[in-house]
Amino acid sequence: MTANRRFLLTRRPHGTPVREDFSFVEQAVPHAPEGGFVVRNCYASLDPAQRGWMDDAPSYMPPIPLGDAVRASTIGVIAESRSPDFQVGDWVMGLNALEDYSVGVTGGFTNKVDISQVDSPSRFLSAMGAVGLTAYFGLTEVAKPKPGETLLVSGAAGAVGSAVGQIGKILGARVIGIAGGPGKCRRLIEDYGFDEAIDYKGKSVEQLAAEIRAVAPGGVHVLFENVGGDVMDAALLNLAKYARIVLCGLISEYNSPEKIGVRNLWQVLAQQATLYGYLIMDYAPRFAEGGAVMAGWMAQGRLRIDEDVQEGLENTYDVFMRLFTGANTGKLVLKIADGL
Ligand code: NAP
Map out the domains of the chain as residue ranges. 4-126+306-335, 130-281
Query: To the nearest whole percent, how much of the chain has pLDDT over 90?
Result: 95
Using CA atoms, how far residue 110 sits from 38, 69, 78, 283, 313, in Å, is 11, 17, 10, 15, 21
Q: Which one of 3.30.559.10, 3.90.180.10, 3.40.50.720, 2.40.10.220 gives the CATH number of domain 4-126+306-335?
A: 3.90.180.10
Per-residue pLDDT tens digits for 67-90: 999 999 999 999 999 999 999 999
* Share above pLDDT 70 across residues of the chain, in percent, rounded to a whole number: 100
User: Could you tell me the pLDDT band of residue 172, with boundaries at 50, 70 and 90?
Assistant: very high
CATH number of the domain located at residue range(s) 130-281 in this protein: 3.40.50.720
Amino acid residing at 81: S
49 lines ligand 1 (CB under 6 A): yes
**Span from the CA of 42 to the centroid of ligand 1 (angstroms):** 23
Across 273-278, average pLDDT: 98
For range 331-340, the mean pLDDT: 93
70 sits in the region (left: phi over 0; alpha: psi -120 to 50; else beta) called: beta
Residue nearest to atom 45 of ligand 1 (CA): 180
Separation CA 199–CA 145 (nearest Å): 23
Whether residue 251 has its Cβ less than 6 Å from ligand 1:
yes
Query: CA dist 78 to 43, 63, 113, 116, Å?
Result: 13, 27, 11, 17
Chain segment 189-248, per-residue pLDDT in tens: 999 999 999 999 999 999 999 999 999 999 999 999 999 999 999 999 999 999 999 999
Check: pTM over 0.75? Answer yes or no.
yes
Average model confidence (pLDDT) for the chain?
A: 96
Spatial CB neighbours of 96, under 8 Å, sequence gap ≥ 6: 39, 41, 44, 71, 72, 73, 74, 76, 102, 104, 110
Which tens digits make up the pLDDT trace of 126-162? 999 999 999 999 999 999 999 999 999 999 999 999 9
Q: Which of 226, 253, 321 to mutate to test the pocket of ligand 1 (most atoms within 8 A of CB)?
A: 226
Question: What whole-number distance in Å separates Cα of residue 323 and Cα of residue 230?
Answer: 18
Lowest-pLDDT choice from 14-23, 101-110, 136-145, 307-316: 101-110
Residue 61 is predicted with a pLDDT of: 93
Which residue minimizes the CA distance to atom 48 of ligand 1? 180
Q: Are strands 36-45 and 331-335 parallel, antiparallel or unpaired?
A: antiparallel
247 Cβ below 6 A of ligand 1: no
Q: Is the pLDDT of residue 340 over 90?
A: no
* 163 Cβ below 6 A of ligand 1: no
- pLDDT of the residue at 259: 80
For residue 161, the ligand 1 atom closest to its alpha carbon is: 26
